[in-house]
Chains A and B, each alone.
Chain A
Amino acid sequence: MNLDINGKTFQIDADPTTPLLYILRDQLQLNGAKFGCGLGQCGACTVIVDKQPVFSCITPVSALQGRKIRTIEGLGTLENPGPVQRAFIEEQAAQCGYCIPGMMMRAQALLEQNPAPSKSDIRRYMNANLCRCGTHMRILRAVERAAAFVKDGGKGGTAG
């Protein structure tokens, strides 16, 4: 079956029940999304499908044919990070970093739907993603900073 990931089409051969996360990591070497709980409860595996954040560890690939999947690799590069990535770096929002790709994908989805979220909008929206190091305060600041970047026209990066 074919999957559209970050604007490219990938042909994959997999059992229809295989979670997207396994295909991303094991077949396509898109290792940004992480395996955390495997139950859709921590958010480390978050990617964007069409416009919505989705837990890739519990979403079977067969359900994603013909839909637009985006991963952290689609938000920018090391040389040219996207606004959300740049904001997370500037706030030094990562400690161990394991949850951060998921956090950034959820933040990206939020900012695409609501470019000027309030603090409580951010808290509510980011609620589904957990960080075990406890850098939530920095993560929340990073999302605010990313919103400011987006407002400035996304300078310094390519908006996803």
Chain B
Amino acid sequence: MARRIILGLLLVLCVLSAVFVAFAWRTAIAPVEPPARSTFDTALIARGASLAAIGDCVSCHTAPEGKPYAGGFPLHTQFGTIYGTNITPDAETGIGRWTLPAFRRAMHEGVDREGRHLYPAFPYDHFTNVSDDDLQALYAFLMTREPVRAETPPNDLTFPLNFRMLIAGWKLLYLESTGFRPDPAQSGDWNRGAYLVRGLGHCGACHTPRNALGAEKLDLDLGGGEAEGWHAPALNAATTAPIPWTADALLRYLRRGADETHDTAIGPMAAVVNNLSAVPESEVRSIATYIASVMGPADEQRQKRASQIVAKARGANEASGSVSEVQRQDAKKSDLAPQSNGAAIYAGSCAVCHVALERPAGSASGNALHLGLSTTLSLPTPVNLIRVILQGIAPADGERGPIMPGYAGAFTDAQVGALVSYLRATYTDRPEWTDVDRQVRKARQSFAEAPE
């Protein structure tokens, strides 16, 4: 009897497996000779370039110090490391033999030309919203890049996730292929922004928290997520920005990487704004319009508090001398732990730029943010502040951008922790962070493992 039950169960398992394989199976799309550059319209290529910039394709598809789009970028996830693939038109190692339908299938369904399911680290849950017209332009852009021969390193994923078939199950649960539906009640600008944010821009891939299976939590849509060890701040009503964002401020931030009353773009966001600086302004304005609308208007209390903060920041900049008297007094209260006095460290290291002088706009050292304006200090987690203090801010190679020296060598973990806690207490009215020490150690460790 027992044997029969086991046999029966095995049979059921076999049938289920067969059904699943049949469901998950995708056929290959026949390879073609790489199309010649002359077969693509130049206007289409130019539009594709702008779309690729909005999609920030280059970030995940370029290795550190590698050729653009030639793949090899290691994306560390909770499931292991996935490498961005080579999307140059190289026939052997890139997508040179892909047809437009093969490209469309990858973008809309997460299946490559050979019929393999792609991991959702490639955000096809967003790209499924991209229109066929835009896909055609993107395809034209990518197929006219310099072909680079570069094998993508094999992924390093925990068992059983190395079986790509399983992704078909994930898609059944989380991939909604309905396409983008405009909201007729909203303006064209708003709808264009929604289309870009929900589609190619894939903002939610970082700014929405993920569940245990790595899918975006729809109930916390744009509510603040994680990207490459950084916190991606909330873009919805949960925003903690001390100065409420407006569409105009967002436009300045997304175009130039900074707005005078908000933080500089740091971490993975630096590449995003760098790309957006080269996109037609109307597109970025649409994104800004939509995000501002998702955040919603700030209530009166928040507005009032914001104008107090701005006034204080202006006052600090106009005051002569580098450090306020209060801070000087705080710094002298160093009897207990002189080595880790956050106030002394702030006054000796940070104030020279963050308070001291109003420098001409555009100079490399200018416009250091008054920290009262900083969203980084107001976030639910200290990770971004810790990473900036340790690593500093540097523009990409050959690009302009704000800079800040890193203090990884200068400060011990305890000193970084003391500074972080001091800044939180001094410049925000939010509760103190409780896991500062652990986060400092973690950030240092991640830099030691991946110095890039």
Contact = CB atoms under 8 A, between A and B. Distances in A.
B410 A16 contact: no
A12 interface: no
A41 B341 contact: no
A37 B65 CA distance: 29
Among A19, A49, A62, residue most surrounded by chain B Cβ atoms (within 10 Å): A62
B415 interface: yes
A60 B344 contact: yes
A37 to B, nearest CB: 7
Contacts of B403: 41
Among A1, A40, A61, A120, residue most surrounded by chain B Cβ atoms (within 10 Å): A40
Range of interface residues on chain A?
20 to 34
A16 B405 contact: no
B344 A128 contact: no
Given A16-B334, A40-B405, A41-B405, A63 B365 contact: no
Contacts of B334: 16, 62
Interface of B: 65, 323, 328, 331-332, 334, 338-341, 344-345, 347-349, 352-353, 364-365, 403-405, 407-412, 415
Given A41-B403, A52-B409, A58-B352, A17 B365 contact: no
Contacts of A1: 338
Contact of A62 (B65, B348, B404, B412): B348
Interface of A: 1, 15-19, 37-41, 49-55, 58-63, 65-67, 120, 128
Given A52-B409, A55-B405, A63-B339, 17 more contacts: A1-B338, A16-B331, A16-B332, A38-B352, A39-B365, A41-B405, A51-B409, A52-B410, A58-B352, A59-B349, A60-B344, A62-B334, A62-B339, A62-B344, A63-B411, A63-B412, A65-B338
A49 B412 CA distance: 11
A17 B339 contact: no
Given A62-B338, A120-B65, A54 B410 contact: yes
Contact of A63 (B345, B405, B408): B345
Given A16-B331, A17-B331, A58 B349 contact: yes
29 contacts: A15-B332, A16-B334, A17-B328, A17-B331, A37-B365, A39-B352, A39-B365, A39-B405, A49-B409, A49-B410, A50-B409, A52-B410, A53-B409, A54-B409, A54-B410, A55-B405, A55-B410, A58-B352, A58-B410, A59-B348, A59-B349, A59-B410, A62-B339, A62-B348, A63-B339, A63-B344, A63-B348, A63-B411, A66-B339
